[in-house]
A and B are shown apart, each in its own frame.
Chain A
Amino acid sequence: MKIPDDLKYTDHDEWVRIEGDVLVVGITDYAQDQLGELVHVELPAVGKQVKAGQAACEVESVKAVAEIFAPADGEIVAVNEILEDAAENINGDPYGSWIYKLKVAAVPGGLLDAAAYRAKLA
């Protein structure tokens, strides 16, 4: 199970890359493996305001649907439209397949580093 050291993680198995005041969010290798083959990503609308811990969007596999939670309060400023027709990219490359970018007022402090996330999964 890949857990890159240069990313942060949430308790809900999202990965987060911090780019200034923008959080780039996707789902972890563990999450995609648990869900199985993804067939649909319900991308959020650009401009949507989300609250920390609230569902920002959904990913759906053949067998299940999973909510992708916002790691902080903020505004969706970009979505990865490639996934609209290629949700399976997340299975093949979960850390290369970002789902949305969230502009935040403050970077949240409670994110896990790779070691902590690895420990959580163990």
Chain B
Amino acid sequence: MSLRQTPFHARHVASGGRMVAFAGFDMPVQYAGLREEHVATRTGAGLFDVSHMGEVRVRGPRAEDALSWLLSNAIRRLDPGQAQYNAMCNERGGVVDDVFVYRLAADDFLVCVNAANRDKDFAWMRAHDQAGADLEDQGDAWAQLAIQGPKAVAIVDRLVPFDAESVPRHHFRVDTFAGIADCIVARTGYTGEDGFEVFLPVGPGIEAVWDEVLRAGTPEGIVPVGLGARDTLRLEVRNALYGHELTDETSPLQAGLGWIVKLGKPGGFLGAEAVAARKATDPEKLVGMVIEGKRIAREGMPVLLDGERVGTVTSGTFGPSVERAVCLAYVRNDLAVAGRRLTIDVRGREATGVVVDGSFLAQ
């Protein structure tokens, strides 16, 4: 199967990007080096091509009803110009996908979905939209760049005709970005840093936007950042990644996403009853652990207590900013307590993980 390319593919290759297959796309995993890209994003700014992400346009007089049923958060409270994180659940209370919803107008939404779930999500939404909204897979119509880091807003400010700083967190403007009209310029992100995610309509000349952003950010030392650092950045701030912390089997409450699950919202949502019922029955919940010593816990490694299996690591890495190995893991409910020490089986050798609350960056 041939890999798909984003509009910026030639730029990645020209910048020395090391390309890997990800969700059917040929994507850069790193350029100059993962650690350097990670640190640049934490201290200055990083530019990410996230055009592989999928988009579903939901329009029409029943669009709000449709999304309020399909998604877990308070869709009806979203004003035009606002963005909101949501879980899309199945009848078993598992997570079909975690998505970001952008309300463009009263009857017009853009739903940003994970690249690997694009086909699954669109089929799911079509099959389970009881309200009768107009659903369109617009994954090929949008490119997406993320500009993230403490200096990102200053850089974006040079590329838009409005005051970038005036856009509140989780709000967006539809406007010209680097000469491309009708972009969605959103104060959102996945890295734990301030910044923007920009949806650009795919069209002639769009690839030059990559160069424009790098040029605009030269004073701040902006660097292109690959998928490798995107993962370490999100993991340090404990943002969930679909397929790891979230799956068709995990409930959003197990994963610690109670803040986006509105069980009592008017009309309910698909899967709400199962999500509520699972509160009493799910045996495990997601925790963050800091690893003592130098070993690195990785996805799939068993978590043990006194030799007994009590959980599984879902993501793990060395955190370049935390400067320690950190991981996320599902563990038995009674062990999901800050300060609890657990053993991780690292390929037959033991490492000790200590459960912590909150972002690893705050430890």
Instruction: List chain A positions with a Cβ less than 8 A from chain B.
Output: 36-37, 39-40, 42, 58, 60-63, 65, 84, 87
Contact = CB atoms under 8 A, between A and B. Distances in A.
A87 B296 CA distance: 13
Contacts, number: 42
A62 B353 CA distance: 17
A106 B254 CA distance: 56
Contact of A62 (B228, B295, B347, B349): B228
Contact of B232 (A40, A60, A62, A87): A62
A53 B78 CA distance: 60
A63 B34 contact: yes
Given A62-B232, A63-B228, A37 B33 contact: yes
Interface string B95-126: 00000000000000000000000000000000
B33 A65 contact: no
Contacts of B34: 36-37, 61-63
A83 to B, nearest CB: 10
* Listed residue (A42, A60, A62, A84) with the most chain B CB atoms within 10 angstroms of its CB: A62
A36 B243 CA distance: 24
Interface string B213-245: 000000000000000100110000000000000
B317 A62 contact: yes
A63 B317 contact: yes
B162 to A, nearest CB: 37
Interface residues of B, number: 18
B320 interface: yes
* Listed residue (B30, B228, B318, B349) with the most chain A CB atoms within 10 angstroms of its CB: B318
20 contacts: A36-B30, A36-B34, A37-B33, A37-B35, A37-B320, A39-B294, A39-B296, A39-B318, A42-B295, A42-B349, A58-B347, A60-B295, A62-B228, A62-B232, A62-B320, A63-B34, A63-B231, A65-B298, A65-B347, A84-B294
Nearest to A41: B294
Given A39-B318, A40-B318, A42-B349, A60 B35 contact: no
Nearest to A39: B318
B228 A36 contact: yes
A118 to B, nearest CB: 20
* Listed residue (B34, B231, B296) with the most chain A CB atoms within 10 angstroms of its CB: B296
Contacts of A39: 294, 296, 318, 325
A50 B296 CA distance: 24
A60 B310 CA distance: 25
B334 to A, nearest CB: 31
B33 A36 contact: yes
Given A62-B318, A63-B34, A87-B294, 5 more contacts: A36-B35, A39-B294, A58-B347, A63-B317, A65-B347
Interface string B311-323: 0000001101000
Given A40-B318, A42-B349, A62 B35 contact: yes
Contacts of B317: 62-63
8 smallest A-B Cβ distances: which pairs? A39-B318, A40-B294, A37-B35, A62-B318, A63-B228, A62-B34, A36-B34, A60-B296
Contacts of B35: 36-37, 62
A40 B296 CA distance: 8
